[in-house]
Structure 1
Amino acid sequence: MIAWKDSYDIGVEKIDCQHRQLLAKLNEFFEACSNQQGRDKIMETLKFLKEYTLEHFGDEEELMGEIDFPELTEHRKTHADFVKTVLELEEMINAKGVSVLSTIKLNRTLTDWLVNHINKCDKLIGEYMASRGKAV
């Protein structure tokens, strides 16, 4: 389980709320895996991720466009790479079934996304807005 830290906030309530929603879903999946129910929860989690990424990445990219965020193109690419990873994992599960490997891969993917992307890359959006005197 990963606890939300205030340091994960970027200072944009809509985006921060979506990030907290992702963490809650990640923790649900961790808990299911801890209770030997990861196989049952993985498809639900992947379905959530596909829906989440459409809405969240769209909102985030729209915000970055509105504030002329200088790293929008690179950020958009990281979003596309994450979606590709999720779709590849779903494809692997559909072809081979759920396995310990697929549950570990999803755990690692989500944990890495939270720790590295949200806490580092997304944080830059709020910092950029604050440095430009934009309301967050």
Structure 2
Amino acid sequence: MINWKESYDIGVETIDCQHRQLLVKLNEFFEACTNQKGKEQIEETLRFLKEYTLEHFSSEEQLMVDIDFPELAEHQKTHAEFVQTVLELEETVKTKGVSVLSTIKLNRTLTDWLLNHISKCDQLIGDCIAAKGKAV
């Protein structure tokens, strides 16, 4: 289980709220895995991620455009790679079924996304807003 840290906040309520929503879903999946129910939960988690990434990445990328974020293209690339990972995992589950390996991969993907992308890459968006003194 991962607890929300204030350091994950980028200072934009909409984005921070979406990030917290992802953490809730991640913790639900962790809990299911801990209780040997990861296989049952994986499809629901993947469905959530597909919907979440469409809405969240759109919001975040529009914000980056609005603030003239200098690393927009690179950030969009990491978003696209995450979406691709989710789609590949979903395809694997559809064609080969749910396995321990697929649940572990989803756990690692989500944990890495939270700990690395949100706390490091997304934090740069907040830093950019603060540096420009823009209210969002």
Deviations 1:94-127 (CA, angstroms, capped at 9, x unpaired):
1110000000000000000000000000000000
Pairwise CA distance, 1:27 = 0.1
Residue 117 of structure 2: aligned partner: 117
**Aligned counterparts of 1:129 and 1:65: Cα–Cα separation in 2:** 12
TM-score, with normalisation over the residues of structure 1?
0.99
Three-state SS of the structure 2 residue aligned to 1:2 is coil
Task: State the AA in 2 paired with 1:25.
Answer: K
Deviations 1:37-77 (CA, angstroms, capped at 9, x unpaired):
00000000000000000000000000000010000000000
Q: Give the percent of matched residue pairs that are identical in Structure 1 and Structure 2.
A: 76
Pairwise CA distance, 1:135 = 1.2
Three-state SS of the structure 1 residue aligned to 2:92 is helix
**Aligned counterparts of 2:69 and 2:8: Cα–Cα separation in 1:** 19
**Residue 66 (structure 2) pairs with residue 38 (structure 1):** no
Unaligned runs of 5+ in 1: none
**Aligned counterparts of 2:36 and 2:67: Cα–Cα separation in 1:** 45
**Aligned counterparts of 1:126 and 1:91: Cα–Cα separation in 2:** 34
TM-score, with normalisation over the residues of structure 2?
0.99
Residue 126 of structure 1: aligned partner: 126
Pairwise CA distance, 1:79 = 0.2
**Aligned counterparts of 2:32 and 2:110: Cα–Cα separation in 1:** 14
Consecutive aligned runs of 4 or more in structure 1 exceeding 2 Å deviation: none
Unaligned runs of 5+ in 2: none
**Aligned counterparts of 2:73 and 2:121: Cα–Cα separation in 1:** 13
**Aligned counterparts of 1:63 and 1:128: Cα–Cα separation in 2:** 11
